[in-house]
Chain A
């Protein structure tokens, strides 16, 4: 069975939970920016949470389905509709053969995920389907989707009756709200910032500029200063690392980040708030809050417990029917 790309949308790529084990070769993890939405999209369909999904920005893709298939759309709300009828997000949806899925208008968020029941036949490179566009590897020939591309998928027999499933959108509130409030732990060079800058970092808000993409968000806000602006030798960084650039502004590293860098790492966004950060669109304002490592870990554990509880509801539903 295949799905055809009628319109590609902007930077539509195949991603999974990312590529681990190759950072020492300078190969970053890539992967879905909003890993929660991508994992949940798969879980809603009974898939393995690490199956490849299609990550879309707005304007998003238009896709034609060759056969009946269950899909789920999670993450950003771009007003998904199938043959002009609006479809619900965060829920399994049956798309019938020859129907078209499109995204009518921008409502909220930054990245929508389309998951398909069964395993998409994408390119697996170094144990991951995630697209590395710089190296032209993984995903769909290592590049964003273009018009005319055809995605093959192994269909699986489905015993799912989506209309019986509970609405889970109210469970998602703690993951995505309050929207601009991003929790961090201190980074290795937090104390390299002077006192006034540490206060400004916590009290002021920072705007996501247009120079923001899957590699990183460049922020605009108060000028932050180092006590001693000595050159740092290159050292590892991670997704969510906040680097202080020589001009006093911050860049937040996102999924396609480099593995090492030479700028001071003042803080790091906690893993549990990365999905929320991934859904902040350009021109959104961010406010940073410092938490300790125990709080960060507890928040991540809660996020996985939520995924697990939704998985249990869905499995129970499949067994009943």
Chain B
């Protein structure tokens, strides 16, 4: 297993609000930096401090929410300083780790133009055939960097350079749940019907977000995802 070491001079720990701090590693999309963010997130979930509420991992930053009143009751100084001190030492400790390998989640996608309204456009931009677009999109194992923008929306990357396509100039009013899109080098799946500006190349029949489930999100940060192409009949067979 490769071991990754980091220097800590690029870490910034600042208030995000007066009840959350932001640990920031810069403005970069990098798997090893994201892995470090997730390691801190997991360490906090397993062994938080008294007054810890939750933490929110993103590409290269992590927000840590805490109960100001609870911490103020037990600390002589500000709750922020208490949390910052805890995190300073945690970040130091988690500067080297074994890169975990999570199992690959396979997600079926129908790339038919009926669902992937923008696949013809994306193919045209890159002078590719539609089968080539499908092959490029399904040949990469993507990393889920973070969940955000809306419940269960996984930001995944990186798509092949030949496939990276800018967002649309104008957001589409309704992108149906399950739509698989591309924005720059990112790919993602819309968990619920929503307005959106990503280039839609297909749709998965899987429920990415299920409100009645105790764990409503299918994907979590750190997951590995591979798409497989299915046809319209197979897509229909998923519908219950």
**B-contacting residues of A (Cβ < 8 Å)?**
20-27, 125-126, 134-137, 142, 185-188, 230, 232-241, 258-261, 265, 268-271, 293-294, 296-297, 300-301, 304
Contact = CB atoms under 8 A, between A and B. Distances in A.
Contacts of B55: 24
B74 to A, nearest CB: 13
A25 B16 contact: no
Contacts of A270: 17-18
B53 A26 contact: no
Nearest to A301: B72
A199 B223 CA distance: 44
Interface in B142-170: 146-153, 155
Contact of B63 (A236, A258, A293, A301): A236
A166 B27 CA distance: 54
Given A136-B211, A232-B27, A301-B69, 20 more contacts: A20-B53, A22-B54, A23-B56, A25-B220, A26-B152, A134-B151, A188-B22, A234-B149, A235-B22, A235-B61, A235-B63, A236-B56, A238-B19, A238-B20, A241-B16, A259-B147, A260-B146, A296-B18, A297-B18, A297-B79
Contacts of A137: 211
Contacts of B56: 23-24, 236, 259-260
Contacts of A296: 18
13 contacts: A20-B65, A24-B57, A26-B148, A26-B191, A26-B217, A235-B58, A235-B63, A258-B148, A261-B148, A268-B18, A271-B17, A296-B18, A300-B19
B18 A185 contact: yes
A297 B157 CA distance: 39
Provide the main secondary structure of the chain B interface: mixed
Given A25-B152, A26-B150, A188-B14, A233 B27 contact: yes
A297 B192 contact: no
Given A23-B54, A25-B147, A234 B59 contact: yes
Q: Which 3 A-B pairs have the closest CB atoms?
A: A260-B148, A236-B63, A296-B18
Contacts of B18: 185, 268, 270-271, 293, 296-297, 300
Contact of A188 (B16, B19, B65, B150): B16
A258 B69 contact: no
B221 A24 contact: yes
Nearest to A27: B151
B69 A300 contact: yes
Contacts of B68: 271, 297, 300-301
A260 B72 contact: no
Interface of B: 12, 14-20, 22, 24, 27-29, 41, 53-63, 65, 68-69, 72, 78-80, 146-153, 155, 191-192, 209, 211, 216-217, 220-221
A304 B69 contact: yes
A235 B56 CA distance: 9
B148 A234 contact: yes
A236 B147 CA distance: 10
B170 to A, nearest CB: 15
A25 B22 contact: no
Contact of A21 (B53, B148, B192): B53
Contact of B150 (A23, A258, A297): A258
Contacts of B15: 185-186, 268, 293
A24 B41 contact: yes
Contacts of A240: 17
Contact of B60 (A21, A26, A126, A233): A233
Nearest to B71: A297
A21 B153 CA distance: 17
Contact of A24 (B78, B147, B216): B147
Contacts of B41: 24
Nearest to B16: A238
Contact of B58 (A27, A135, A236): A236
Given A25-B216, A301-B68, A233 B29 contact: yes
Contacts of B149: 26, 234, 258, 260
Nearest to A230: B27
A241 to B, nearest CB: 7
Contacts of A185: 15, 17-18
Most buried by B among A26, A270, A297: A26
Nearest to A232: B27
Contacts of B147: 24-26, 259
B233 to A, nearest CB: 31
Nearest to B193: A134
Contacts of B59: 233-235
Contacts of B61: 235-236
